[in-house]
Structure 1
Amino acid sequence: MGVEERVDFLYKDVLPFGAMVMVEIMLVGGNTLFKSASALQINSFVFTFYAFLVGFIFFLPYFFIHYRGISIPPIKFDIVCKIFILSVLIYLAQVFGYIGLKYSSPTLSSIMGNLSPAFTFMLAFFFRMEKVHLRSYTSQAKIAGTIVSISGAVIATVYSGPLVLSESVSLDWILGGLLLASQYFILAFSLVAQAKILMVYSVDLMVIFVFSVSGLFVAGIGGLVLARDMDAWKLEPNLILVTILYVGFTSGFFNGLIQIWILRVKGPVYVAMFKPLTIVIALIMGVMFLGDTLHIGSVLGGSIITIGFYGVVWGKARESKDAQPNQITAPLLETHDVLEQGSLIS
């Protein structure tokens, strides 16, 4: 193997693999930190605002450097309004996710995160961005994968089964599972809405900029209305501050840039393939750092969701491969990780 081939192999295979593993570890690490910080009575509404703010602070200079000397097409008012509504949905998803984490665990959050392609397929079909042909093996794979994924989510949420490590499933766990499932349903809806917006206005970073500004406004108003205790807004040098800085930088900015690069080098299918890895990472981190419970129901449900996940992704990948070059397809294979923490970078 020559020098050029080695460099090409390093750039196109080794680095993307390592980067995707790092992204998933950092994503689960943020959830694990938040779960730990919740013991300090962290306010989910305040935390969401600060996480948005930190991500925006890092994104702003990148935006201006990227578009320095470049003419940006003007964005219409109706597009701004749609992005504002989208920011409200993302804010609700974040709040549901953080409260769901308080009631459950990062493991269940990772399990529910694998519902994203199934939810996206359902919504894309509803909004006529996906066509279903019952005799097509790709459509059959996506439908079967969706049913299997949702079945796995139900099992992981309401069924405990024999204990592997600790106590039984409580009502808090079930409530957390429902909130997390709601989070990823809203995120899937937001992803479909984002795809529709980008069909009309394709300058993705400008869409992200407008979303960031409106998201900050929504999170600020939501925080002031729902967290009226001013003491909750005070930041001290403790685990809460560390978690805000970590989540804001990684999930709100850095992970998005990494995934943009990997999407261009390897494609969306490659990015999607790593999503179930978060379940394994969350299980390990939860047991090691949080003393999490581990139930047969969680293991079984997570395994079933993973099977369904790959069914939907495989069906969409085959369909995209057979599609015409100019055919618009639904965003089933877009990355959801950064969207989960309040950014539209994808």
Structure 2
Amino acid sequence: MATQFLRNEVLPFATMLIVETCEMSIVILGKAAMNAGLNSTVYVVYYNSLGTLLLLPYFLFYRRSRTHALPISFSILHRCFILGLLGICLLQILAYIGINYSSPTLAAGIGNLMPGFTFILAVIFRMERLNLREITSQAKSLGTVVAITGAMVMTLYQGPTLFGSTDSESTQPNLESTQQSLLSQNSNWVLGGSLITLTCLMSSGWNILQTATLKEYPEQPTIVFFFCCFGTIQCIIYSAIAERSVDDWLPLPSIAIIAIVFSAVCGTVFRTNVLTWCLDKKGPLYVAMFKPVGVIIAAIMEIMFLGASLHLGSVIGAIISSAGFYTVLWGQSKENATLKLDDSECGAKSSSNRAPLLQ
């Protein structure tokens, strides 16, 4: 029982926390590389190409080690093509263009819309039950709204400083310069936010489609390799049209090389496989609910590695997001327990009904 609890509850929770930490690290490194002169489309092409090459030996080993591997049909390849288009080509290119126009902080804040988008799509495609008369559906709906609210509080409300630098003379010029920068680049900021919002909707759709694909074809390494491969090819085709200047591809600054290698290993290889595994085990809403947690992780990373100050708004938002997050988890666990109990009761009734026939 304890081993099953660790495998079904603790392991997905821990891995998703690691995934969100890796994702925020990738975004911050990518923004630093783009500030150093790396083109956003070139960045996406380079790190996905390297990641796909790293996935190739694992895919070949997996297929050869399987004595009864499932055949790869045209329908599955078509699904992988769409997954690559949504999850890599369009999503990542538009996301990094949006981040380049705005900032990782705005991307993290807008990313909190994902649980709402995913919950609506999951209900539409009947991957999540919604019956507002049941307490489990009420908990999931309320928890989603509360988690989004808490993350938006962290993003929009700063509040007084709890600890860290409070020197008004040093912070006021930075604040004024930031405000002037935002005003002078208002159109770019709005465009960046709009692109990031679009990628959140696309990411929610990708989660739904990936979950449905895994139910139809449950060989995760095959799905991951093919949709990464298709997505990379699509990115290369797009970049050949959009980025024809050789200066955009070479030479690369040192921070760009670090960002590409880190994103390929922790993003394309690790994050994609773990995310696919969690989608298969826990569903799209569970995965999307970690987006508000990602804002908390980003705030912690800023405090630990960048020496940022801790503000009251961050603490309040983190508490609200945590309450909403655990409310959704409670609703899902109660719903799963109810479904298992109903299945066991149905099994017991059917066996008792068959007993006289066997006698």
Please, what TM-score do these two structures have when normalized by structure 1? 0.74
Deviation at 1:215, TM superposition (A): 0.9
2:353 paired residue number = none
Query: Who is 2:64 aligned against?
Result: 68
- Cα distance, 1:326–1:115 mapped onto 2, change above 3 Å: farther
Q: Which residue of 1 aligns with 2:143?
A: 145
> Alignment partner for residue 55 of structure 1, among 26, 30, 51?
51
Question: Of the candidates 323, 327, 330, which is equivalent to residue 339 of structure 2?
Answer: 323
- Aligned residue in 2 for 1:86: 83
Q: Residue deviations 1:203-259, cap 9 Å, x none?
A: 222112221221111111121222222221224351111101110111111345567
Q: Which is worse superposed, 200-209 or 293-302?
A: 293-302
Deviations 1:117-150 (A, max 9, x none): 3322110112233331110111112222333445
Which residue of the partner structure matches residue 102 of structure 1? 100
Give the stretch that moved more between structures: 315-324 or 245-254: 315-324
Q: Which amino acid aligns with 1:252?
A: T
Gaps of 5+ in 2: 162-170, 344-359
Residue 99 to residue 305, structure 1, CA distance change in 2 (3 Å): farther
Specify the code of the residue in structure 2 equivalent to 1:195.
T
Name the structure 2 match of 1:333. Answer: none
In the TM superposition, residue 193 of structure 1 has moved relative to its aligned partner by 0.8
Between Structure 1 and Structure 2, how many residues are aligned? 320
Q: Is 1:191 aligned to residue 187 of structure 2? A: no
- Identify which of 283, 298, 311 aligns with 2:327: 311
User: Could you say which residue in structure 1 is the equivalent of 2:241?
Assistant: 225
* Aligned-partner Cα distance in 2 for 1:301–1:281: 12
Q: Give the 3-state SS of the residue equivalent to 2:71 in structure 1.
A: coil
Give the stretch that moved more between structures: 250-259 or 77-86.
Answer: 250-259
Q: How many Å separate the matches in 2 of 1:299 and 1:108? A: 18
Q: Matched residues in 1 for 2:42 and 2:305: separation?
A: 24
Q: Which residue of 1 aligns with 2:131?
A: 133
Deviates further, 39-48 or 143-152: 143-152
- Checking the alignment, whether the CA contact within 8 Å between 1:88 and 1:215 is kept in structure 2 is yes
Contact 2:139 2:331 in 1 (8 A): yes
Alignment deviations for residues 301-341 of structure 1 (CA, whole Å, 9 cap, x no partner)? 666555444433332232223224999xxxxxxxxxxxxxx
Structure 1's 221 and 178: CA in aligned 2 closer, same or farther, altered over 3 A? same
State the alpha-carbon separation in 1 of the partners of residues 102 and 308 from structure 2. Answer: 9
When residues 12 and 86 of structure 1 are mapped into structure 2, their CA distance, relative to the original with a 3 A threshold, is closer
Cα distance in 1 between the residues matched to 2:325 and 2:191: 23
Question: How do 1:1-346 and structure 2 match up within 5 A?
Answer: 22-70=18-66, 71-90=68-87, 91-151=89-149, 159=156, 167=175, 170=182, 171=186, 175-236=191-252, 238-256=254-272, 276-286=292-302, 304-324=320-340
Q: Is the helix fraction higher in 1 or 2?
A: 2
Contact 1:49/1:220, CA 8 A, preserved across alignment? yes
Give structure 1 stretches of 5+ with no counterpart.
Answer: 328-346
Q: Is contact 1:272–1:313 with CA below 8 Å preserved after alignment? A: no
Aligned identity (percent) is 37
Return 50-59 or 65-74, whichever deviates more.
65-74
1-structure distance, mates of 2:193, 2:77: 33
Distance of aligned partners of 1:302 and 1:229 in 2 relative to their CA distance in 1, 3 Å threshold: farther
Partner Cα separation in structure 2 for residue 152 and residue 80 of structure 1: 40
Contact map agreement 1:102 1:176 (CA 8 A) in 2: yes
Measured in 1, the distance between the counterparts of 2:197 and 2:151 equals 8
In structure 1, what residue type is equivalent to 2:74?
F
Change (3 A) 1:161 1:208: closer
In angstroms, what is the RMSD of aligned CA positions? 4.2
Closer, same or farther: CA 271–217 of 1 in aligned 2, 3 Å: closer
Relative to the length of structure 2, the TM-score reads 0.71
Out of 109-118 and 289-298, give the one that drifted further. 289-298
Mapped partners of 2:208, 2:279: distance in 1: 18
